[in-house]
Amino acid sequence: MDLYEHQARELFEKHGIVVPRAEVTDSPERARGIARALGGRAVVKAQVKTGGRGKAGGVRLAADPAAAEHAARRILGMGIKGHTVGTVMLAEPVDVDREFYVSYVLDRAAGRFLAVASAEGGTEIEQVAAERPGAVARIPVDPDEGVTTSTAARIADAAGLPPQAVDVLVRLWEVLVREDALLVEVNPLVRTAQGGIVALDGKVTLDDNALYRQSRWGGERVESADPLEARAAAKGLNYVRLDGAVGVIGNGAGLVMSTLDVVAGCGARPANFLDIGGGASARVMADGLSVVLSDPAVKSVLVNVFGGITACDAVADGIVRALEEVTLTKPLVVRLDGNSAARGRALLDARAHPLVEQATTMDGAARRAARLATAASTAG
């Protein structure tokens, strides 16, 4: 379950991470009063569970209480990627000196967590990774050891973060572990002109299996306003809709994130994040393909699987069986690697579906899927 920004902010503050003063409202009139209490100026931010708020006009700087009311009135009710804004958060402005990016995400395929950090925050991390791969540090985290001060110092050094960020990295790990999270992200984490470290924006995804321990957030999955995300959630799929043309399906959050980066590096934009986890049965593959293909923006689909506990021949069998249920109308590129990969490739070769082709490397698969998507977009 994804939390709203203001809920993520509450968790950060609970664990000692500094955040700006802020308050949430669904009333433009109340927004004026909140801005006044914050000192007059305020950042008015749409509270929706999706990215791209700034580009959509859902984040505005108000110079005074009247401007805050006007901004809230414009933002409330607007649609952002299929999500309708029902509340806004007004936050105290911060004098920013520099912006950074930090996150912890579950890497299912590797059975561990991954720390992702960069000295270039404030923009989409996928874009930074695609344009400057060396600017993003990815450090594996042993879940048994966790993030100690020394581990945090290693992450900060690898990413070029200031020494003051070490304490935040430790506390952010506490948020992940103690709040049953699968993802915690701060973008941007900023150094202020006064030298302090402040979390300006945050994202937290809780483990649905632990929601009974998180009753304060409702204790149950909250459906997305995006119809495809809601449909995927009903099928138990970990799916996030993006705005590209290449559908992406993989096993493990870390692998899927890497695939998104590689697709972007090939000149195409991913259409979604879909992690099928450790299982790739015919049912899971059929559901996943059905959801991804339902997005009219998708022009090609990339399945990138590394066989571990779930062998590649089982994945291939799942794809073959899924093709009996799902009418494939767009090209599908499959990359299988790891346990029983050769047998899995043989199964797909035997099926010989005209729209299914294989690649032996992730880079090759991403390039092919990107080219197919570009060709389809140009032809259309």
222-239 residue pLDDT tens: 445 578 888 888 888 888
Residues of the chain with pLDDT > 90, as a percent, come to: 61
Q: Is 124 an active-site residue?
A: no
Say yes or no: 367 and 252 in one domain.
Answer: yes
For all residues of the chain together, what is the average pLDDT? 89
Q: Give pLDDT, residue 221.
A: 44
Q: With CA atoms as reference, report the closest residue to 236 among 195, 263, 198, 274.
A: 274
Active-site residue (options: 4, 101, 104, 239): 101
Span 138-154, mean pLDDT? 92
Give me the pLDDT at residue 161, please. Answer: 95
φ, ψ dihedrals at 220, nearest 5°: -150, 160
What per-residue confidence (pLDDT) applies to 18? 96
Above 70 in pLDDT, residue 103?
yes
Are residue 174 and residue 204 in the same domain, yes or no?
A: yes
Q: In total, how many domains does the chain have?
A: 3
Domain with residue 116: its CATH number is: 3.30.470.20
Asked if residue 364 and residue 231 are part of one domain, the reply reads yes
| pLDDT computed for residue 108 by the predictor | 66
Query: In the sheet where 238-241 sits, what is the strand order?
Result: 238-241, 272-275, 246-250, 300-307, 332-338, 356-359
Q: State the average pLDDT over residues 344-366.
A: 95
Q: Is the pLDDT of residue 246 over 50?
A: yes
The CATH number linked to 294 is 3.40.50.261
CA gap 99, 272 in Å, rounded = 26
Q: Based on the domain organization, do 276 and 353 belong to the same domain?
A: yes
Active-site residue, 101 included: yes
Do the strands 42-46 and 88-91 form a parallel or antiparallel pair, or are they unpaired? Answer: antiparallel
* Whole-number pLDDT of residue 281: 67
pLDDT (0 to 100) of residue 220: 43
Considering the domain architecture, whether residues 367 and 261 belong to the same structural domain is answered as yes
Bridge partner residues of 141 (DSSP): 113
105 vs 170: CA distance, rounded Å: 14
Domain boundary among 161, 190, 213: 213
Domain that holds residue 243: 227-379
- Flag whether 5 is in a domain: no
Task: Indicate if the pLDDT at residue 278 is higher than 90.
Answer: no
In a domain, 3, yes or no: no
268 falls within a domain: yes
204 in the same domain as 265: no
Instruction: Please tell me which residue, 363 or 379, carries the higher pLDDT value.
Output: 363
Taking the CB of residue 166, how many other CB atoms lie within 10 A of it? 21
pLDDT band at 192 (very low <50, low <70, confident <90, very high): very high
Q: Is the pLDDT of residue 309 over 70?
A: no
* 199/332 same-domain check: no
Let me know if residue 13 belongs to a domain: no
For residue 298, pLDDT over 80 is answered with: yes
Q: Are 91 and 22 in contact (CB under 8 A)?
A: yes
Placement of tokens 């009753």 in the chain: 215
258 has a pLDDT exceeding 70: yes
Are 164 and 293 within one domain? no
Marked catalytic residue, from 23, 185, 229, 239: 185
